[in-house]
Amino acid sequence: MKEKIALLKEKIQSVRIKTPEDAEKFRVAFLGAKGELKALYQELKTVPDGDKKTIGQEINALKKMAEDVLNQIDIEEVKTDKKHSNDLSRPTYENQSGTLHPLTLVKSEIVSIFEKIGFSISEGPEIEDDWHNFSALNFPADHPARDMQDTFFIDCPNPELSLRTHTSSVQVRVMENQKPPIRTISPGRVYRNEAISARAHCFFHQIEGLYIDKNVKFSDLKQTLAYFAKAVFGDKAKIRLRSSYFPFTEPSAEVDVSCSLCESKGCSVCKNSGWLEIMGCGMVDPNVLSACGIDPTEYSGFAFGMGLERIAQLKYRVSDLRLYSENDRRFLQQFQY
């Protein structure tokens, strides 16, 4: 059996296909219903059980090889006669260049906006322990606030591990390892146990920001966010802050940006309010600073966090979140850079 396989391999490799007829002959001889591969598969039935698996794999590999030979011939090229193929003025095939993913585009844009005002970039693990994702961020132990983010817990071997629900976990790592002043943004993928729909997904991407120094005030936060909104949505963009709650910031706020689609006149995207919600923010809670080894009587800071899918949705008018992860080329090719 092994010799037959080796022999057939040699045969397939030695075939030269020059015309569409050659290709068809090749297909019939090797891959057809009465072809040589079919015969090998028949014979496989007679092989002792112990050898079936390896021999079967070898025949499968051979079949793939024969299919690859067929797939790789450019039938157009084969059809063209000699005279034509020497025509150097003949147009070439279109050069298909790749595109950057819209989330990559938005991420790069936001990163460069914050780099300009002195923020560094920090990254961390997607599988996190309880301390970095929750406890250090002032989520009380066994408190339902941990459910606020629909966590995917990883059962074993360590029940304390979960997929990070936000990149605030990276900021904890930065605070533990660096002395203020700290100015950093953390882009990355995060996970939440949500049903997948046009408006929600079980993973998405965030950029969170952190600034810690002496005398950092709420007004610094507001100015930074106003600068950011203008840089992303244009000079006319305004922001408004609505008070909110996060365990790790006090006071906390939701940030809205004026709707650039209808110039705040009211449209379906802003639900006639003239405003679009884009992120959460607040002053870092003193408990968080202490937990990370920073003295809250000496230092203060602000933090903010946004979803990249949301910003890309507003910039590029993407109506369905699922498009970001479905790899549909008709969608992706619209983002030429």
Task: List contacts with ligand PHE (CB under 6 A).
Answer: 166, 168, 208, 246, 249, 252, 280-282, 303-305
Which C-beta is closer to ligand PHE: that of 66 or that of 278? 278
Cα 127 → chain centroid = 16
d(CA 316, CA 309): 10
Q: Are 255 and 310 in contact (CB under 8 A)?
A: no
Which C-beta is closer to ligand PHE: that of 30 or that of 305? 305
Tokens of 332: 């992706």
Residue whose CB is nearest to ligand PHE in the complex, by number: 305
CB of 61 to ligand PHE, least distance (A): 48
Say if residue 181 is preceded by a cis peptide, omega within 30 of 0: yes
CB of 298 to ligand PHE, least distance (A): 21
Which C-beta is closer to ligand PHE: that of 224 or that of 252? 252
Which C-beta is closer to ligand PHE: that of 103 or that of 303? 303
CB of 80 to ligand PHE, least distance (A): 58
CB of 257 to ligand PHE, least distance (A): 16
Which C-beta is closer to ligand PHE: that of 162 or that of 252? 252
How far is residue 103 from each of residues 73, 132, 188, 201, 312, measured CA to CA in Å? 36, 25, 11, 14, 7
CB of 284 to ligand PHE, least distance (A): 8
CB of 304 to ligand PHE, least distance (A): 5
What SS3 state is found at 175?
A: helix
CB of 45 to ligand PHE, least distance (A): 58
Which C-beta is closer to ligand PHE: that of 166 or that of 183? 166
How far is residue 325 from each of residues 267, 301, 305, 328, measured CA to CA in Å? 27, 35, 21, 8
Which C-beta is closer to ligand PHE: that of 208 or that of 256? 208
What SS3 state is found at 77?
A: helix
Which C-beta is closer to ligand PHE: that of 138 or that of 260? 138
d(CA 301, CA 213): 6
d(CA 170, CA 154): 19
State the DSSP code for 171: H
Say if residue 157 is preceded by a cis peptide, omega within 30 of 0: yes
300 by Cβ neighbours in 10 Å (0-12 / 13-18 / 19+) ranks as buried
What SS3 state is found at 23?
A: helix
Provide the strand spans (E) within 234-318.
239-246, 249-258, 275-284, 300-307
Which C-beta is closer to ligand PHE: that of 138 or that of 168? 168
